[in-house]
């Protein structure tokens, strides 16, 4: 990445390694050149090599000679660097048709469920425009139908702008490689023709909607241990994670996009941001049933509502001499998305607990929950309950031998379940 750019408006060279950018007479220059692209002239900043020779090596890789200013943090030091903007492309006719069809479908689904929907909705101050603004009991949902490439910073900026105006953003896409995945609340549908989008046929959400799964890891569990990755070597601890509907046990029904339009506005589905247990900087975003979110909060004991905040790092100026050579491709050919995301079927938000919190026990124990019986008594209990001997275990409430493990098993005996119901 370059350490300088040419300012086409002032016809000056900007040195990003100097605190005054090489122009002490222009104190507001930094704020000017770091404005979002849509708030300034796209051709304001130019590659120095292109300015001097008429061509730079970035153009050989389908990039433009126009630049944007980014912050780059390495080993705790944050510096300013210049990066090439992509060549501006227009949506194809097919992409435009899909975009229009999705907007129409979202608005139609909202009206069918008695909700208010406004297409191309603008905020009172005119700063943001939403493809479809759906209003319901849970608030305002700002749907963005994204069928063309977009950068991660644009997704974050537009999502934050929507949140600042009291709108919950919801991006819908047909690509599993788009930069919006896990950068904002999102959902992915199948890549189908615009006619299928515009029709009244069902359109399933393929990714972006998940359900909570939690279980005690034992050799009788239907799931393999996520920490050991082995079916036979259980860790004995409790696990909780978020799964796609088809991977849940038992399987959950897939959500349709029309259903998500209504449920997100009514509060049936809510947005979640889940930091990884071992790496809080790795965030998974998803839409989940409201009851699953409450159960997760009770289980983890923390809220997921805190917004992502970039660390406030002061800028470091190295005072290096201005380099007029285009450095595109020497460090990376990736623009503005150093950590690409992809929609996968992998479980998200895995949390492992040594002990299940007592507040989550639906059948409070009244005695020590250990099965203290002889082999003969175990065989007799298996005959009574009609199950295999190794499926016999203690009732969670009174420790009575019951069909505790395996298919059609129960967590507690009928007496304890009845006591809980009353």
- Checking if the pLDDT of 335 tops 50, the result is no
> Mean pLDDT over residues 132-136, rounded?
96
What was the pLDDT predicted at 37? 77
How many C-beta neighbours within 10 Å does residue 144 have? 26
Question: What percentage of residues in the chain have a pLDDT greater than 70?
Answer: 88
> Mean pLDDT over residues 260-264, rounded?
97
What does the mean pLDDT of the chain come to?
85
Distance (Å, whole) CA 268 – CA 257: 14
What was the pLDDT predicted at 304? 56
DSSP code string of 131-167 = EEEEEETTEEEEEEEE-S---HHHHHHHHHHHHHTTE
Cα→Cα distances 33→7, 160, 298, 380, Å: 9, 21, 46, 80
pTM (two decimals): 0.67
- Checking if the pLDDT of 23 tops 90, the result is yes
List the beta strands (DSSP E) in 290-399: 348-353, 392-394
- Checking if the pLDDT of 371 tops 50, the result is yes
Most confident of 70-74, 334-338, 383-387: 383-387
> Mean pLDDT over residues 304-326, rounded?
70
- Checking if the pLDDT of 334 tops 50, the result is no
**pLDDT tens profile 213-240:** 988 888 778 888 888 877 667 888 889 9
Assess contact for 296 and 305: CB atoms under 8 A: no
Bridge partners (DSSP) of residue 214 are 240
- Checking if the pLDDT of 342 tops 60, the result is yes
Bridge partners (DSSP) of residue 270 are 288
Most confident of 275-279, 297-301, 401-405, 416-420: 401-405
Is pLDDT larger for residue 378 or for residue 336?
A: 378
């Amino acid at each position: 990445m370059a350490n300088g750019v040419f300012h086409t408006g002032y016809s000056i060279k900007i040195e990003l390694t100097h605190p005054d950018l090489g122009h002490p007479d222009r104190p507001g220059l930094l704020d000017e050149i770091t404005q979002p692209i849509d708030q300034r002239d796209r051709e304001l900043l130019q590659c120095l090599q292109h300015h001097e020779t008429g061509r730079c090596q970035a153009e050989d890789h389908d990039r433009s000679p126009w630049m944007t200013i980014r912050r780059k943090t390495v080993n705790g030091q944050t510096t300013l660097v210049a990066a090439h903007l992509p060549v501006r492309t227009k949506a194809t006719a097919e992409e435009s048709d899909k975009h229009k069809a999705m907007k129409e479908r979202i608005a139609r689904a909202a009206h069918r469920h008695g909700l208010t929907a406004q297409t191309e909705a603008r905020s009172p101050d005119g700063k943001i425009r939403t493809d479809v603004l759906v209003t319901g009991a849970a608030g305002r949902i700002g749907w963005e139908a994204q069928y063309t490439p977009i950068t991660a910073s644009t997704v974050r900026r537009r999502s934050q702008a929507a949140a600042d105006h009291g709108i919950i953003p919801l991006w819908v896409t047909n690509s599993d490689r788009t930069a919006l995945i896990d950068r904002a609340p999102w959902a992915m549908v199948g890549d189908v023709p615009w006619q299928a989008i515009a029709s009244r046929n069902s359109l399933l959400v393929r990714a972006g909607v998940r359900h909570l799964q939690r279980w005690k890891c034992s050799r009788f569990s239907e799931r393999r241990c996520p920490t050991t990755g082995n079916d036979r070597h259980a860790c004995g601890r409790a696990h909780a994670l978020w799964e796609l509907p088809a991977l849940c046990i038992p399987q959950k029904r897939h959500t349709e996009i029309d259903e998500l339009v209504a449920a997100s506005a009514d509060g049936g589905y809510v947005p979640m941001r889940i930091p990884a247990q071992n790496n809080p900087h790795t965030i998974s975003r998803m839409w989940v049933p409201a009851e699953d979110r409450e159960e997760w909060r009770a289980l983890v004991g923390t809220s997921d509502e805190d917004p992502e905040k970039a660390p406030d790092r002061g800028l470091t100026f190295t005072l290096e001499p201005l380099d007029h050579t285009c450095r595109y491709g020497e460090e990376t050919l990736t623009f503005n998305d150093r950590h690409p995301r992809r929609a996968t079927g992998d479980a998200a938000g895995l949390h492992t607990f040594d002990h299940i919190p007592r507040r989550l026990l639906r059948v409070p124990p009244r005695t020590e929950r250990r099965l203290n019986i002889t082999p003969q008594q175990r065989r007799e209990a298996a005959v009574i309950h009609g199950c295999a001997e190794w499926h016999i275990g203690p009732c969670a409430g009174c420790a009575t031998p019951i069909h505790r493990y395996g298919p059609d098993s129960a967590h507690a005996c009928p007496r304890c379940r009845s006591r809980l119901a009353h």
